[in-house]
Amino acid sequence: MSRALLNLALLLGPAALMAQKPDSLLERIRRCPLPAELREEAARSFESRDYAHVEDVLGRRVALADTPANAAELQALAGAVEFVHGKMDLAELAFRHSDSLAPLGDPDRFTWAMALVNLGDAKAGRAQLTRLSAAHPDRPLYIYWLARIDYDQRLYAEAVAKLKRVITLDPASARAYDNLGLALDMLNQPEDARAAFLKAVDSNRKLAAPSAWPPHDLGALLLRLQQLKDAETALRESLRYDPRFTMAHYHLGRTLEAEGRDIEAIDEYRAATSHDPVVVEALYSLGLLCRRQGRGAEAEAAFAEYRRRKAQ
């Protein structure tokens, strides 16, 4: 799965991909068709993040549900909890079973689509999102995720068209502008991509919790265009939002190296390799730079670690 889909699961966590928030999910547990004592037991476990126990309580009661509608609700609720727990395969099974008993509500269908995307089944995820979008053609969330799947499948022109529609419906969407920039860049339209990234960065700054991705993506493009000072500024903004963001450290290292600031570049490459156990690009760049500086032992150590992680 490409950056376009995978980074959300890694950086935001499963709960951030749901249409329903944890608080509303807790209230749903408290209203679900279980005996009162089991509802409270499940709610307490959910609040303490003992998701396995919530799943156990719900799973044991599905077969005892008095109506198909109640069985469907317990299955859908179990799917939502499994999703928050990160068990995408079990979430997908629970949602599918629930949908066979009674049609899923929109929030559960969206979460089912996100589970399918996380499992790498873009075709099935697209089918559920298309169904939602057909029922709600002006809902930007569904169009946005269809565009993300387009991007992942290298349908860049289709992604651009959908993202422009999202921006028409939600002009302040930083993530729509950011992904528009990515798609335009893949279509070899760097100036249009730069304009989209600049709008993404501006909108992102206005958020209560800005994402590190928009300024990173702008900085990476500017680095490639050799606009080094502006690239450095954007990448440092990204790191203000997330000081442990591996790719921002890596691209800042490349920017500083291009500016002839080798010692600072080495520090950034080291920061990148320390924050991510699977990063390889920064190790290779670190080895090359240390070798160029005559720091043979450090270069060989970096290359050895690069080979080790590459093999993994």
Domain ranges, ordered by start, for the chain: 14-118, 212-312
Query: Average pLDDT of 180-184?
Result: 98
Measured distance CA(155)–CA(147) in Å, rounded: 9
Whether domain 212-312 has CATH 1.25.40.10: the reply is: yes
Write down the pLDDT at residue 2: 45
**Neighbour-count burial for 24-44, b at 16+ CB within 10 Å, e otherwise:** ebeebbeebbbeeeebebbbe
Question: Residue 155: left (phi > 0), alpha (psi -120 to 50), or beta?
Answer: beta
Give yes or no for residue 120 having a pLDDT over 90. Answer: yes
CA gap 124, 105 in Å, rounded: 17
| pLDDT exceeds 90 at position 278 | no
Nearest to 227 by CA among 203, 200, 271, 197: 197
Residue 15, pLDDT score: 55
Distances (CA, A) of 303 to 14, 262, 287, 289, 312: 35, 18, 6, 11, 14
Tell me what pLDDT residue 3 has. Answer: 46
Check if the beta carbon of residue 181 is closer than 8 Å to that of residue 200. yes
What is the structure's pLDDT at 171? 97
Concatenated DSSP letters for the chain? --HHHHHHHHHT-GGGG-SS-HHHHHHHHHHSSS-HHHHHHHHHHHHTT-HHHHHHHHHHHHTT-SSHHHHHHHHHHHHHHHHHTT-HHHHHHHHHHHHHHSPPPHHHHHHHHHHHHHTT-HHHHHHHHHHHHHH-TT-HHHHHHHHHHHHHTT-HHHHHHHHHHHHHH-TT-HHHHHHHHHHHHHTT-HHHHHHHHHHHHHHHHTSSS--SHHHHHHHHHHHHTT-HHHHHHHHHHHHHH-TT-HHHHHHHHHHHHHTT-HHHHHHHHHHHHHH-TT--HHHHHHHHHHHHTT-HHHHHHHHHHHHHHHH-
pLDDT digits (tens, 9 = 90+) for 223-264: 999 999 999 999 999 999 999 999 999 999 999 999 999 999
User: How confident is the model at residue 60, as a pLDDT?
Assistant: 86
Q: Are 281 and 251 in contact (CB under 8 A)?
A: no
pLDDT digits (tens, 9 = 90+) for 16-52: 566 667 778 999 999 999 999 999 999 999 999 999 9
